[in-house]
Chains A and B, each alone.
Chain A
Amino acid sequence: MRLGHGTRPYMTRAAIHRTPALHLVRNMIRLRGELESLLGTGGAVKPWRIRETADERFNRLNDEWGSHCEVLITRYKWLMNEIHTRLAPTGGDSSRDVYFRAWWRIVRNDLPGLAAAEAFSSLLWQAVAAAAELLETDVEFTPVAMLKPKFMLRQFIDEMSDAESAVSLKILAYSPADVDDDYVTGAGPNELADIVYEACLSLHETVKRFEPSLVTMTSASIDLAGLNDEATIARRYTTWLFQS
């Protein structure tokens, strides 16, 4: 993927790939400000003009914006598969293609207008219903609406300090790619359950860190009330992640 036009980008693709989703969106808000400043005449003297023209800068920033979008969306692409499977179980690829394009079109147009980085997950979720031309309260949307907590929890996976738990949840709850691999299938049922329970506790610790802005970040779909003991926490999170 081409990131720049002879000028080193702020972040390499690998760096973007490693960046947590929330930080990624914060970067995008910064990029948005810089891109918007290039939409006008751009006549003012800026230090960056020393090394690149306005067009070069616009192209480079636009490329970076695109890279951020792609990496962000990559983290939700399997989840979007699951959402579409529930929306249209018999729709097939053509239906999936139409739905994904509609969802992405909405996200693409709304993302630059995002007021706060913390609200990005809610924005992506609103597009889930809008792309299906449904309201969140519609009966047809009910199977998908059950996935809302799982959708909102995805952003916290990137913020987890426990790398093993984060990867376990990524593999088991958010991507199908590795599940058939021997290192995953080699785990017995009890072992798999314990891995998930451990990971849920770790995820809960991460979510608690963001408690002040939890309503904005999760569109009020994650409620931590009543989560007092480890078994309850593990049950609640496994329900959100696997059994909704």
Chain B
Amino acid sequence: MPSIDSEDAGELRQAIFRSAIAKNHDGVDLKTDEADELRKAIFHSRKAMENRGGIDLQAIVAETAYDYWPHRAAFTRARRRVAKGVEGRPAFKAIGAEERAELVTAIHRTQEGLRGGGIDLETIAREGSRHYWSQRRAADPVRVRQVNAAAIADMALILRRAAREFAPRRERRRLWSSILFDAVAVLIPWLLIPPLLISISQGRVLRPSAMLSLLTFRASFADRNFAIAAFAVLCFGAFLLWVALRKPETRRRISQFGGAATASLLVAVLGTAYVDTNKTSAGLDRLQASLTSRLLLALERSDVAGYLIVPTQADRSIEVETKTLSASMAMLYARTPGTKGEIRVRLEPQSANYWWYVDGREIPKGRLAIGRVAAFENDSITIISGNRTSTFRSALPGLRLPVGSRVAAEIGTDDRIASVIVLPPQPVRLVSQPVTVRPKG
């Protein structure tokens, strides 16, 4: 069979041009699906000529389909543009007819030179363009080592023998090393994270053991933001795990230390709950405010010992209980989810000194003065408590108290009035039932 030469290729191109023209008379770019149709149209021709070789029909079609119409349209526009200026640019008038004719001849000569033979450089390029990087990769010593089948087979044989000979001991060693690594992976966060969290939370967090507190955990997850963050952390961990499992080497490592990794993740999440300092701080503040008001009410009854503090409707989550230690000392316990505090009050005839104890740490808060306002000036209040008259400066700008009213003033450590509650003229009587009752003694 005769082979396709450049003349055949030229004819083929012309045929494709005609086909393209028949399909699209508007001179716009040929659409991809139409180019596909063209490819299908020449498929049978290609089948018929498959043994004749030499010309890549696909390349011709692609070139024709993608370039023909844009080129035709642009060249037509160029002709139209030149035709508008009938004589052309003034500068080109200097170029004579003879020179122009020479140029046209040169254009045709150039076209002859360009046409050349039937060897398609694009086909040659397609054959070899990917070889460079493939060869470089194949020549890479690491990869050569990886794909050395003989070496892999030898190594596999050695490993199989070794597995048979040393299996029990190796298994034991793997087990112990795994346990050791797991333990280290779990213990390190336990040993390092609590001191770190305590330091960064400036002592607001509780004991390290609170990390395991169900109350702490529940309280933290009750917070929507924290729950979302924890869920995101867990999802991210699962995602990383999924990514890591894609690689065999990582998969092996994870199977060995997966337990430790999971434990570490849980410790991190619990630790985050544990260091939820804002929440802890807010809880403490709420507890303190609640206890203060209840203490004042209890004192107002003039009978602290053995009485209970009743939570208000707003603070149902706070459990409060009192315990009398001695005739002059009472303790109030309060507990919120995740926070525990107690207040100790030393009773005196007309005042009470009190301290906060939060998880064993003492926080001095000052004392209380209960009595009637004897005199009131801009920044000082004189309170009569029994036989004793005391004058305190106020740390509350704009405070106004009527003379003769009964007040309970909180005196801060700087000996200034930090807060004042105006009490009813007569002692109140609690009518609510206590939530928790602890009998005296």
A binds B: yes
Q: Does B289 contact A (CB under 8 A)?
A: no
Q: B130 and A234: CB pair below 8 A?
A: no
Tell yes or no: A238 within 8 A of B by CB: yes
A194 touches B92 (CB 8 A): yes
Instruction: State the interface size on chain A (CB cutoff 8 A).
Output: 85
Known: A101-B124, A181-B72, A231-B95. A35 touches B133 (CB 8 A): yes
Interface check A164, CB cutoff 8 A: yes
Q: Could you list 14 examples of A-B contacts with CB < 8 Å?
A: A38-B137, A41-B142, A70-B125, A77-B122, A96-B119, A163-B74, A167-B74, A172-B110, A172-B111, A173-B110, A176-B114, A177-B13, A234-B92, A243-B103
The 8 closest A-B CB pairs, nearest first, are A81-B116, A167-B74, A230-B91, A66-B129, A69-B129, A164-B78, A77-B121, A242-B106
Contact in complex: A231, B113 (CB < 8 Å):
no
Which of A105-113, A115-123, A209-217 contacts the other chain? Answer: A105-113
**Set A35, A67, A191: member contacting B79, Cβ < 8 A:** A191
B63 and A93 contact, CB distance less than 8 A: no
> What separation, in Å, do the CA atoms of A85 and B17 have in the docked complex?
26
Residues of A within 8 A of B247 (CB): 49
Q: Is the CB of A100 within 8 A of B119?
A: yes
When distances are taken between beta carbons in the complex, the residues of chain B under 8 Å from A77 are 120-122
B140's contact among A40, A74, A177, by CB below 8 Å, is which? A40
As a 0/1 sequence over residues 68 to 81 of chain B, the CB contacts with chain A under 8 angstroms (1 = contact) are 10111011111101
- Give Cα distance in the complex from A97 to B77, angstroms: 37
Check B116–A96 contact: CB distance below 8 A.
yes
Closest to A192 in B: B104
Chain A, Cβ-Cβ closest to B58: A1
**Shortest distance from the beta carbon of A68 to any chain B beta carbon, whole Å:** 8
**How many residues of chain B get a CB closer than 8 Å to chain A's CBs?**
65
The stretch of B82-90, B213-221, B329-337, B373-381 that contacts the partner chain: B82-90
The reply to whether the CB of A82 lies closer than 8 angstroms to some CB of chain B is yes
Q: Which residue of B lies closest to A72 (CB)?
A: B125
Partner of B243, one of A38, A50, A96, A198: A50
Contact B70 A167 (CB under 8 A): yes
Q: Is the interface of B mostly helix, strand, loop or mixed?
A: helix
**Are B116 and A49 in contact, with the CB atoms below 8 A?**
no
Tell me, rounded to whole Å, the shortest Cβ–Cβ distance linking A40 to chain B.
6
Bound together, the chains give a CA A86 to CA B113 distance in angstroms of 8
Decide yes or no whether A126 CB sits under 8 A from chain B: no
Would B75 and A167 count as touching, CB distance under 8 A? yes
Q: Are B78 and A82 in contact (CB under 8 A)?
A: no
Contact with A along B93-123 (1 / 0, CB 8 A): 0110100111110111111111111111110
Contact A109:B132 (CB < 8 A) given known A82-B116, A164-B75, A231-B92: yes
Given the known A-B contacts A112-B132, A230-B89, are A197 and B95 also in contact in the complex, defined by CB atoms under 8 Å?
Answer: yes
Q: Given A81-B115, A100-B119, A172-B107, decide whether A198 and B101 contact each other with a Cβ distance below 8 A.
A: no
Chain B nearest CB from A104 CB (Å) reads 5
In the complex, the answer to whether B66 meets A81 with C-beta atoms within 8 Å is no
Closest to B89 in A: A230
B89, A198: Cβ atoms under 8 Å?
yes
* Chain B residues, Cβ within 8 Å of A92: 117
The segment out of A19-27, A57-65, A133-141, A218-226 that lies at the interface is A57-65
Smallest CB separation, A38 vs chain B (Å)? 7
Q: How far is the CA of A73 from the CA of B126 in the complex (A)?
A: 10
In the complex, what residues of A have CB within 8 A of residue B68's CB? Answer: 178
Question: Contact: B130 with A242, CB < 8 Å?
Answer: no
Query: A192 contacts which of B107, B113, B118, B140 (Cβ < 8 Å)?
Result: B107
Q: Does A174 contact B (CB under 8 A)?
A: yes
* Chain A residues, CB < 8 A from B63: 74, 177
Query: With A39-B136, A164-B81, A176-B114 in contact, is A189–B101 under 8 Å at CB?
Result: yes
B115 touches A176 (CB 8 A): yes
Give which listed residue, A17, A62, A69, A242, contacts B110 with CB less than 8 A. A242
Q: Which B residues have a C-beta under 8 Å from some C-beta of A?
A: 13-14, 17, 32, 63, 66, 68, 70-72, 74-79, 81-83, 88-89, 91-92, 94-95, 97, 100-104, 106-122, 124-126, 128-134, 136-137, 140, 142, 243, 246-247
Find B82's partner among A181, A191, A235 (CB 8 Å cutoff): A191
Q: Do B129 and A238 touch (CB < 8 A)?
A: no
Q: Please give, as numbers and ranges, the residues of chain B lying within 8 Å of A114 by CB-CB distance.
A: none
> What 12 additional pairs, Cβ within 8 angstroms, besides A176-B112, A177-B63, A178-B72?
A39-B140, A49-B247, A58-B133, A62-B134, A70-B122, A81-B113, A104-B128, A108-B132, A167-B78, A190-B88, A197-B95, A234-B95
Question: Is there contact, CB below 8 Å, between B78 and A199?
Answer: yes
Nearest to B130 among chain A residues (CB) is A66
Q: Is the CB of B78 within 8 A of A165?
A: yes
B114, A70: Cβ atoms under 8 Å? no
CB neighbours (8 Å) of A168 from chain B are: 74-75, 78
Q: Does A171 count as interface, using CB distance less than 8 angstroms?
A: yes
The reply to whether B72 and A183 form a contact with Cβ atoms under 8 Å apart is yes
CB-based contact B117/A176 at 8 Å: no
Contact (Cβ within 8 A) B129 A65: yes
Known: A181-B17, A193-B100, A230-B89. A49 touches B129 (CB 8 A): no
Closest residue to B250 on the A side, CB-wise? A45
By a CB distance below 8 angstroms, the chain A residues around B132 are: 65, 108-109, 111-112
Q: Establish whether residues A40 and B103, one from each chain, have CB atoms under 8 Å apart when the complex forms.
A: no
Taking CB atoms, residues of chain A closer than 8 Å to B71 are 167, 170-171, 178
Q: With contacts A49-B246, A193-B103 known, is A231 near B81, CB below 8 A? A: no
Could you say which residues of chain B place their CB within 8 Å of the CB of A62?
A: 130, 133-134
**Partner of B114 from A14, A73, A82 at Cβ < 8 Å:** A82
Query: From A61, which residue of chain B is reached at the shortest CB distance?
Result: B133
Q: How far is the CA of A45 from the CA of B247 in the complex (A)?
A: 11
- Which residues A132-182 have CB closer than 8 A to chain B? 163-168, 170-181
> What's the Cα separation between A112 and B77 when bound, in Å?
39
Cβ A97 vs Cβ B119 within 8 A: yes
A227 lies within 8 A of chain B by Cβ: no
A207 within 8 A of B: no
Residues of chain B lying within 8 A (CB to CB) of residue A171:
71, 75
Question: Is A84 in contact with B116, judged by CB distance below 8 angstroms?
Answer: yes
A76 vs B70: C-alpha distance when bound (angstroms): 19
Residue of B nearest to A112 (CB): B132
